[in-house]
Copies of this chain bind each other. A is one copy, B any other.
Amino acid sequence: MNGAEALIESLVRSGVEVCFNNPGTSEMHLVAAIDKVKGMRPILGLFEGVVTGAADGYGRMAGKPACTLLHLGPGLGNGLANLHNAKKAGTPVVNVVGEHATYHRKYDAPLNSDIRSLAGPMSHWVETIEHAGDAARMAARAVAEARRGPGRIATLILPADSAWNELAAPAPIAALEPAPSPEVTPAQIDAVAEALRKAKNAVILLGADGVRAEALAAAGRVAAASGARLYCETFNKRIERGAGRVAAKTVPYFAEMALDELQGTDLLVLAGARVPVAFFAYPGKASVLVPEGCEARELARADEDVTGALTALADALGAPARPNATQELKRPDLPASSDFNAGTIGQAIGALLPEGAIVADEGCTSGMWSQIFTAGAPPHDWLQLTGGSIGCGVPLATGAAVACPDRKVVCLQGDGGAMYTIQALWTQAREGLDVVTILFANRSYAILNIELGRVGVSAPGPKAKSMLDIGNPTIDFTAMAKAMGVNAVRCTDNAGFAKAFKAALAEKGPHLIEVVI
């Protein structure tokens, strides 16, 4: 058994079943090991941003890590943006990054780079396997590190000789239990309960696992007992929402709107959430989005047992056993309007979204309507752009579909972000994944046109406009999807969209619907 085989075997024993990959020469022994070891499913991405984004989507839905296989520093580099999103989400991911043989590193061959320095900012844990004999143990450690808290990014760098060298002795291959999430102390629970009793206008801000169904139910009990309102962060890893679940409002994206929304709040209880801050700074506007005179108090950090803390808080408040208010099943009708825009499309999605759907949302300016109109749809999961790095949607949908083959995945994708990682459609086609991508073609970086105005440029000239407009030339996403083996259709009115969406939902496998808005 060589180091590569020990590593893959150890990952499998630790519960890792899927390897999203794009290997190169330095990873050929890993390719051979995946071929040989039973229980590891390789899924090729044609670009590393697809690989890491799919690992994010998989981890969010499977609740355990997939591994990635990346080619040296540049391959990792290509995957960093979606690792950034995964890190901000708190998704468990194990990266396996190939490296030159230990003795070859010093020659600074063309593909040589400082992988550790590149990996650091987007990883919680990075280690290099200097000897084949360490591969199994370190792989088990990486999985345990990835599974700490809500999920973390663990990166293993594997020099080629640590992969190909034979082990001197049988590898000690055994899974390690991740460190359990710290529990919140009773004293802390009581203090928050006391503050809630005193507050006149409290908000519970939910983040991390605080937006999963069980935690939301506990938060609903807290709300019933205390009168506090429930909010979730602007971008979330995985919201379990829809009929029968407790709903939380979303903190608005724009800083001034967020402050307006929270105005008058005198207590902000953080349950898996962080003190809300502006996504970006703007001249003369606040960075911290806590209204003046409002106390922010931490119930549980994201890496603590958020659900347990909310449940304990509800009990401490003498809350009823169930929340007062859960979302009723209430779908909109299909739109009758002759207008065709993100709003009417969202309405149609609300009318048709199937039970158990997983929505991967990188719709940006176009996606928010869909979120509003699906509030009363049958129960479903909503995955968001947690790190703000566009190019996440299509890969995220890809990974979610791998994790949950029996559930329909709907991807809301803006055209700007789509062009970052459009290659993920090919992986959907190859793997026959059950994903419907709704491609919002507004032919601009629409958010940036808004932002340019917000920084005070009221009349941009042609050069500025050219940097925000992606409509010249027009990109034919329908043709592009077909070119990668995905069924695709373009819609320009509500009747056409409703028909296309119904058809795509009715048929297994990947589909793309380009909506020209």
**Distance between Cα atoms of A101 and B285 in the complex (Å):** 12
Binds B, one of A195-203, A214-222, A398-406, A473-481: A473-481
CB of A426 within 8 A of CB of B475, answer yes
CB of B100 within 8 A of CB of A280, answer yes
**Distance between Cα atoms of A107 and B286 in the complex (Å):** 12
Q: Which residue of B31, B120, B287, B461 is within 8 Å of A452 (Cβ)?
A: B31
In the complex, per-residue mask of A442-468: 1 if CB is within 8 Å of any chain B CB, else 0 = 000001100110110100111110111
Given the known interface contacts A473-B485, A479-B483, the answer about A104 and B281 at a Cβ–Cβ threshold of 8 Å is: yes
CB of A81 within 8 A of CB of B81, answer no
Given the known interface contacts A28-B455, A29-B455, A287-B103, the answer about A73 and B280 at a Cβ–Cβ threshold of 8 Å is: no
Taking the complex as formed, is A131 at the interface, i.e. its CB lies under 8 A from any CB of chain B?
no
Given the known interface contacts A386-B110, A426-B473, the answer about A120 and B121 at a Cβ–Cβ threshold of 8 Å is: no
Considering only CB atoms and an 8 Å cut-off, how many residues of chain A contact the other chain? 100
Residues of B within 8 A of A466 (CB): 42, 44
Residues of B within 8 A of A447 (CB): 25
**Residues in A364-393 with C-beta less than 8 Å from chain B:** 386-389, 391
Residues of B within 8 A of A120 (CB): 114, 117
The residue in chain B whose Cβ has the minimal distance to the Cβ of A19 is B467
CB of B164 within 8 A of CB of A277, answer no
The number of times this chain is found in the oligomer is: 2
Q: Which residue of B21, B34, B74, B474 is within 8 Å of A84 (Cβ)?
A: B74
The residue in chain B whose Cβ has the minimal distance to the Cβ of A461 is B35
CB of A121 within 8 A of CB of B110, answer no
Taking the complex as formed, is A472 at the interface, i.e. its CB lies under 8 A from any CB of chain B?
yes
Taking the complex as formed, is A440 at the interface, i.e. its CB lies under 8 A from any CB of chain B?
no
Q: Which residue of B42, B101, B457, B462 is within 8 Å of A467 (Cβ)?
A: B42
Q: Which residue of B88, B281, B420, B476 is within 8 Å of A47 (Cβ)?
A: B420
CB of B484 within 8 A of CB of A475, answer yes
Taking the complex as formed, is A180 at the interface, i.e. its CB lies under 8 A from any CB of chain B?
no
**Distance between Cα atoms of A100 and B120 in the complex (Å):** 19
CB of A470 within 8 A of CB of B110, answer no
Residues of B within 8 A of A84 (CB): 73-74, 77, 113
Residues of B within 8 A of A283 (CB): 161, 164
The residue in chain B whose Cβ has the minimal distance to the Cβ of A464 is B35
Residues of B within 8 A of A78 (CB): 49, 77-78, 80-81, 391, 420
Q: Which residue of B35, B161, B280 is within 8 Å of A463 (Cβ)?
A: B35
Taking the complex as formed, is A321 at the interface, i.e. its CB lies under 8 A from any CB of chain B?
no
CB of B110 within 8 A of CB of A279, answer yes
**Distance between Cα atoms of A10 and B107 in the complex (Å):** 38
In the complex, per-residue mask of A406-448: 1 if CB is within 8 Å of any chain B CB, else 0 = 0000000000100110110010011000000000000000011
CB of B279 within 8 A of CB of A457, answer no
Residues of B within 8 A of A24 (CB): 448
Q: Which residue of B389, B463, B476 is within 8 Å of A34 (Cβ)?
A: B463
CB of B46 within 8 A of CB of A470, answer yes
Taking the complex as formed, is A160 at the interface, i.e. its CB lies under 8 A from any CB of chain B?
yes
CB of A452 within 8 A of CB of B113, answer no
Residues of B within 8 A of A229 (CB): none
Residues of B within 8 A of A329 (CB): none
Taking the complex as formed, is A482 at the interface, i.e. its CB lies under 8 A from any CB of chain B?
yes
Residues of B within 8 A of A101 (CB): 281, 287
Residues of B within 8 A of A287 (CB): 101, 103-104, 107
Taking the complex as formed, is A257 at the interface, i.e. its CB lies under 8 A from any CB of chain B?
no
Taking the complex as formed, is A32 at the interface, i.e. its CB lies under 8 A from any CB of chain B?
yes
Task: Contacts A77-B78, A108-B277 known; list 8 others, CB within 8 Å.
Answer: A101-B281, A109-B279, A117-B120, A426-B475, A474-B485, A475-B484, A480-B483, A480-B484
Chain A residues in the interface with B (C-beta under 8 A):
21, 23-26, 28-29, 31-32, 34-36, 41-42, 44, 46-47, 49, 73-75, 77-78, 80-81, 84-85, 88, 100-101, 103-104, 107-111, 113-115, 117-118, 120-122, 160-161, 164, 235, 274-275, 277-281, 283, 287-288, 386-389, 391, 416, 419-420, 422-423, 426, 429-430, 447-448, 451-452, 454-455, 457, 460-464, 466-468, 470, 472-477, 479-480, 482-485
Contact sample, A vs B, 29 pairs, CB 8 Å cutoff? A21-B467, A25-B279, A28-B448, A32-B452, A34-B463, A35-B464, A42-B463, A42-B467, A44-B467, A47-B391, A73-B80, A73-B84, A74-B81, A77-B80, A78-B391, A80-B118, A104-B278, A107-B277, A108-B277, A109-B279, A110-B279, A110-B387, A113-B122, A115-B121, A117-B121, A475-B483, A476-B482, A477-B483, A479-B482
